[in-house]
Structure 1
Amino acid sequence: MEISGISDLPLHYGRVPAWLIPIMRRLSRAILDVMLLEWGPDKVVERLSNPLWFQAFNNVIGMDWDSSGSTTVTLGILKDIVVPRIDGLAVTGGKGRNALNVPKELEELPANFDIDSNRLAKMSKLIAKTDTTLLQDGHELYHHSLLVSEDGKWSVVQQGMNLSTRFARRYHWVSVSDPINEKHQGIAGRKVESVLNVHDSLGAKEVILDLLREEPRKIERLYLQATSRLKGISLDAWISLGTTGAISKEAKMIYMKPVNVNRVIDVLKNVKEYSPRNMEEALLLGVGPSTVRALSLISDLIYTEPPSYEDPVSVPYDPFKYAFAIGGKDGVPFPVNREMAFQVINTLEDFVASAKIEKKDKDMALNKLRELRFGVKEGT
């Protein structure tokens, strides 16, 4: 087995065995109770926003150590067991069309949540747009969850799949105020070569925003001019040219994907009508991957302001050791040991029950002291 420091998330199409789901729920609930007692909801959100801490949690509860399902199943389990009114923590969104439910679910959170649901819904949408439009790495998003504490600490965990390579990629964000320009908390996945990374290029973003204010037909002419520079040059020669004229040596395969010029022109007409002040407004107005790909090509080949082509995958340590807690459903590093799993669950549940009793006793003692000192009962 090769440990490279990168989380590989191959696409798995199986299901979690029916007997394992109750174990995963009880174990997740027991771990969550300990985390809430020790840290509180804010810290739980922060920890789950770390891609490899998230992976370690997934491994501990018995999910595959290297599967795309580590995202969908783990977040699904968490959403099932979390009780927002009691835990001060909520998990919204989910897989497929469930991702679109984030705004509605935020609005329906109980009164103990001190949040601006409209702002969080906007952040949720912007982050999804960022990882599909400003970062084009060949992975199509199919899961999007927003986790939030009652005090407003939040994170987004979303996952995309690449059907060609059959690998998934998980993107983590935590309480950013400007996802267009701020960095991810981390990205778990296998590095790829062909990436259009406008997100990490301030110069390219500025040129693209200027282009969005131009007449759409001028953009069409510039795009045709840029593509004409590539005619007669093989892809290998193009990449190895160095900087000749305005052709960037870092240009990658991403630009070879076809762009529907007429559709891009329609988008540009709509965007220009509203004259976006910044990239955030442009994305919310409907600028998508094809438009950004076309404008990035113009930015690179006409205005010599290339976007980044660096894949921002970042993984600081390997979480595989946590798969040894109770085993994994696919038998790696060994089949789930049910007896061990229930021992861990019972130990954690006993600890939590004891801690809650101690807290109750402590609160009662403090109330008695207040009565003796002030002659009044708590709450009067």
Structure 2
Amino acid sequence: MRTGFADLPLHAGKCPPWLFVRMKRLGAAITAAIVYEHGEKEFLRRISNPFFFQSLGCVLAFDHHSSGVTTTVCGALKEGLSLEEHGITVAGGKGKTSRKTPSEIVEKAEFAGLEADQLVRVSRLAAKVDSAAVQDGYQLYHHCLFFSSEGDWAVVQQGLNAPENAGLDWLGAIIGGKARRYHWLSDGLESFVNEPHAAVCADENKDGQVLNLVATESTETRKASVDLINDGTLLRESGQRTLAECKANAKVLVMQREHLVDPRQYKALANARELCPDNYEQLLLCPGIGSKTVRALALTSELVYGTEASWKDPAKYSFSHGGKDRTPYPVDKPGMYKTAEFIEQAVEEAKLEKKEKLEALRRLKDFLPSETN
């Protein structure tokens, strides 16, 4: 299941080398303690929890209110963890490194005797859903797959939402922009394309502006999109065949004036038709099928078959634990402190010097809101 989103401000700059080395060692020690006491599955469950992830970044001494906490914590864990020692490994990363995810998965999975093809498919589907099936305005630029020696997995990925006036300027995108983090977990996952998440966290709810094709309300749109690719033979019998069949109270579809059609979309659709996908997951995995093509299929499905896609923003919580000013949702204090107690225990049990433990626990305490908020 997708277990949560977190919206963070974009910050420029890099993690100092001395801090990264420290984060790598601390992260590995805390992970080892969690795996030893609770098992590999529990670590994956925790890393897929937005608040635990944010708390871990704070304990590792990184700025918790920054987009860099995602890329840096994942990078530190990737270098610090191994299947041999911790039973957990990480593939992927930021920018160009994320493109190496499949090859890294194959290399690491073969070492553990796992089915690499299945894990590669998981990585591709999670990325495709959050970049194309849920169109919330964030473009993915970071993707990491955590997996255990038993084949269980979690995905942590992040997208960029640049200001409209930023253009292709990366610095302009950072100033005033935001990053949204997505968490996935294999445990409890029934479908990648039907309500795959358990929680979604963002600064604001943008209902009516987010095309959500993994919502239950979009089920018929998903079916119709696959049918359109397969020449419309599955639903044609039950659909409207002539204008005369249109009811007086039929819904009216108002199309936008702008029609930006990329010639590459035609090629992607032609390739998908040759592959004849049986379901929406297979459609998303077809080469060349991206957000524009998925959106076009959804709107065409509405026009041809009368299906309705969901435009409801899946965001439910501000950051990872609500907003302290109760906007858009109140802080989940019980959940916060329960998670904090868990990570405190992990720090205490980690093989670290006493001074390091005290400093880590102090940073965690500073991260938590006061009891009076």
Output the TM-score relative to the length of structure 2. Answer: 0.71
Contact 2:145 2:154 (C-alpha < 8 Å) held by counterparts: yes
Q: 1:131 to 1:54 in 2, by over 3 A?
A: same
SS in 1 for 2:108: coil
Supply the distance in 2 between the matched residues of 1:105 and 1:159 (Cα, whole angstroms).
Answer: 19
Shift of 1:302: 4.3
* Range with bigger deviation, 122-131 or 181-190: 181-190
Tell me what 2:302 maps to. 300
Supply the distance in 1 between the matched residues of 2:103 and 2:143 (Cα, whole angstroms).
Answer: 14
Shift of 1:95: 0.8
Shift of 1:33: 2.4
Moved over 6 A (4+): 319-322
Supply the distance in 1 between the matched residues of 2:52 and 2:35 (Cα, whole angstroms).
Answer: 16
Tell me what 1:131 maps to. 130
Supply the distance in 2 between the matched residues of 1:54 and 1:296 (Cα, whole angstroms).
Answer: 34
1:168 equivalent among 174, 179, 190: 179
Question: Structure 2: which 5+ runs fail to align?
Answer: 164-175, 233-248, 323-331, 341-351, 361-373
Contact 2:5 2:200 (C-alpha < 8 Å) held by counterparts: no
Q: 1:149 to 1:6 in 2, by over 3 A?
A: closer
Supply the distance in 2 between the matched residues of 1:275 and 1:245 (Cα, whole angstroms).
Answer: 31
Tell me what 2:204 maps to. 191
Tell me what 2:271 maps to. 270
The Cα offsets for residues 61-112 of structure 1, whole Å up to 9 and x where unpaired, read as 1211221111100100111111221111101111112112222222222777
Supply the distance in 1 between the matched residues of 2:7 and 2:291 (Cα, whole angstroms).
Answer: 25
Q: 1:8 to 1:180 in 2, by over 3 A?
A: closer
Contact 1:52 1:188 (C-alpha < 8 Å) held by counterparts: no
Shift of 1:56: 1.4
Supply the distance in 2 between the matched residues of 1:207 and 1:135 (Cα, whole angstroms).
Answer: 17
The Cα offsets for residues 278-301 of structure 1, whole Å up to 9 and x where unpaired, read as 112212223221111112222334
**Superposition pairs of residues 1-380 of structure 1, within 5 angstroms:** 7-109=6-108, 113-164=112-163, 166-175=177-186, 176=189, 178-191=191-204, 193=206, 194-200=209-215, 201-214=218-231, 245-247=250-252, 258-260=259-261, 262-286=263-287, 287-315=289-317, 317=321, 343-345=354-356
Shift of 1:204: 1.1
User: Whose Rg is larger?
Assistant: 1
Q: 1:33 to 1:305 in 2, by over 3 A?
A: same
Q: 1:172 to 1:247 in 2, by over 3 A?
A: farther
Supply the distance in 2 between the matched residues of 1:84 and 1:276 (Cα, whole angstroms).
Answer: 35
Supply the distance in 1 between the matched residues of 2:259 and 2:136 (Cα, whole angstroms).
Answer: 15
Shift of 1:185: 4.5
Supply the distance in 2 between the matched residues of 1:7 and 1:257 (Cα, whole angstroms).
Answer: 32
Aligned amino acid, residue 26 of structure 2 = L
The Cα offsets for residues 217-248 of structure 1, whole Å up to 9 and x where unpaired, read as xxxxxxxxxxxxxxxxxxxxxxxxxxx85346
Supply the distance in 1 between the matched residues of 2:63 and 2:118 (Cα, whole angstroms).
Answer: 35
Supply the distance in 2 between the matched residues of 1:104 and 1:86 (Cα, whole angstroms).
Answer: 21
Contact 2:154 2:184 (C-alpha < 8 Å) held by counterparts: yes
Tell me what 1:329 maps to. none
Aligned amino acid, residue 62 of structure 1 = A
Contact 1:58 1:65 (C-alpha < 8 Å) held by counterparts: yes
Output the TM-score relative to the length of structure 1. Answer: 0.69
Supply the distance in 2 between the matched residues of 1:181 and 1:159 (Cα, whole angstroms).
Answer: 21
SS in 1 for 2:90: strand
Q: 1:6 to 1:211 in 2, by over 3 A?
A: closer
Supply the distance in 2 between the matched residues of 1:206 and 1:313 (Cα, whole angstroms).
Answer: 24
Contact 2:205 2:316 (C-alpha < 8 Å) held by counterparts: no
Contact 1:8 1:66 (C-alpha < 8 Å) held by counterparts: no
Shift of 1:114: 4.7
Contact 2:139 2:160 (C-alpha < 8 Å) held by counterparts: yes
What do you get for the CA RMSD once the two structures are aligned?
Answer: 3.2
Question: Structure 1: which 5+ runs fail to align?
Answer: 216-243, 326-340, 350-380
Aligned amino acid, residue 267 of structure 1 = A
Residue identity (%)? 35
Q: 1:24 to 1:344 in 2, by over 3 A?
A: farther
Contact 1:171 1:184 (C-alpha < 8 Å) held by counterparts: no
SS in 2 for 1:9: strand
